Amino acid sequence: MFTERVVSGMRPTGALHLGHFHGALKNWVRLQSEHPCLFFVADWHALTTHYDSPDVIGDNVWEMVIDWLAAGIDPQQSVLFIQSRVPEHAELHLLLSMITPLGWLERVPTYKDQQEKLSERDLSTYGFLGYPLLQAADILMYRAAWVPVGEDQVPHVEFTREIARRFNHLFGREPGFEDKAREAVKKLGSKRAKLYQQMRTRYQEQGDDTALQQGRELLELAQNLSMGDRERLFGYLEGSRRIILAEPQALLTEASRMPGIDGQKMSKSYGNSIAMREDPESVRRKIRTMPTDPARVRRTDPGEPERCPVWQLHLVYSDEATREWVQVGCRSASIGCLECKQPVIDAILAEQQVFRERAQPYLDDPSLLRNIVADGCEQARKIAQETMREVREAMGLDFD
């Protein structure tokens, strides 16, 4: 178990589909047993684009959490919460806005892209420009080391790193820092303290990145340090600035090859998706009517799996033997397309059966779900309040 925290969020804009499962949620499920994880519903982010349809958000918040649980997110391992129930996110967003150059926001590639793509909406708002900054607040609040996201979100994580750096640069000059850091080194115990000093020297004098990494690991594992001392020692290791907000890294979700029922990437906006908990009859219908290799006009025409969207689904769902059966059968016209689709239908229905079983208790008793989220919000707030105490102090707001 690594102690480095993982944070990620999703906007509640509709029922999650198989692309979300294979692209993101499967990854979250794996991470939750390796790291402390926080996953949240980014309802404020949804408002930046859907401010004129608030019911979309309300309807989808709880359904989305059910989809997460259906996918195998375990509330015993992961903290699940709703962004707007942790109002510290808004405060951090506001405080960070003081030091965020407008140009940085205007240059984030998703800003212009999304305005053009969603041209039916008026996105020339203050809230939409601030989207990446709100995201930075989400991440920095928990001093996350890793942010599992798709490729499109990498610029937002990069932007978050720049904000953290700017914040630490402006506010990380604690009075008496050197003395406090030296005191904190002693608290490591003599053996660890010596190792720490060696790694610090190796990094600062020779730029040895391995030493930096080892130093960080040593601090991660040191158990008797307060949060403040640990942060000081991270800063002292890297060069005597105190790190108040930690720089996160994107944990790139392997590009999901999950195709939709038309062969394009599965996406709700393309109308080619299958929901995680879609009705089985509807799934059968969608797959049966899926287009196949256009060269197979008649049952007796041989086909080529590489030109067929159904084959893409076999790559996600079928074992080696079934794939072999498809390749041979398709190219020799010894199987029909409906026959070929059946194992895919069976595999999707089996996968969804598990989702439905996991979701059922929460549909039967919504209070179970509310309790999980209430508990998650409380846990998240504890961390958030600790971070905010330090942020306020660093920004001169701790007067009494």
| Cα–Cα distance, 391 to 73 (Å, whole number) | 31
Residue 91's contacts (CB-CB under 8 Å, 6 or more residues apart) are 388
Q: Which of 29, 141, 310, 313 binds ligand SF4 (CB under 6 A)?
A: 310
Sign of torsion over alpha carbons 288, 292, 298, 304: negative
Q: Residue 267 in contact with residue 273, Cβ under 8 Å?
A: yes
Question: Which is nearer to ligand TRP, 127 or 336 (by Cβ)?
Answer: 127
Residue 46's contacts (CB-CB under 8 Å, 6 or more residues apart) are 11, 12, 13, 56, 57, 60
Question: Which is nearer to ligand TRP, 193 or 251 (by Cβ)?
Answer: 251
**Window contacting ligand SF4 (CB under 6 A); options: 21-29, 136-144, 209-217, 288-296:** 288-296
Site for ligand SF4 in 319-348 (CB under 6 A): 326, 330, 335, 337, 340-341
Q: Judging by DSSP bridges, how do beta strands 249-252 and 78-82 pair with one another? A: unpaired
User: Pick from ligand SF4, ligand TRP, none: which does 311 bind, CB < 5 to 8 A by kind?
Assistant: ligand SF4
Q: Does 311 bind ligand SF4 (CB under 6 A)?
A: yes
Question: Which token pair is 94?
Answer: 């506001």
Phi-psi region for residue 80, left (φ > 0), alpha (ψ -120 to 50) or beta?
A: beta
User: Minimum distance from CB of 367 to ligand SF4 (Å)?
Assistant: 45
User: Pick from ligand TRP, ligand SF4, none: which does 273 bind, CB < 5 to 8 A by kind?
Assistant: none
| Residue of 244, 242, 246 lying closest to 184 (CA atoms) | 242
Percentages of the chain per state (helix, strand, coil), in multiples of 5 = 60, 5, 30
Question: Which token pair is 135?
Answer: 């995201």
User: Minimum distance from CB of 298 to ligand SF4 (Å)?
Assistant: 12
User: Minimum distance from CB of 287 to ligand SF4 (Å)?
Assistant: 10
**Window contacting ligand SF4 (CB under 6 A); options: 123-131, 281-289, 308-316, 349-357:** 308-316
User: Pick from ligand TRP, ligand SF4, none: which does 135 bind, CB < 5 to 8 A by kind?
Assistant: ligand TRP
| Cα–Cα distance, 276 to 351 (Å, whole number) | 9
User: Pick from ligand TRP, ligand SF4, none: which does 136 bind, CB < 5 to 8 A by kind?
Assistant: none
Question: Which is nearer to ligand TRP, 92 or 348 (by Cβ)?
Answer: 92
Which residues of this protein are in contact with ligand SF4, per CB under 6 A? 292-293, 296, 303, 305, 308, 310-311, 326, 330, 335, 337, 340-341
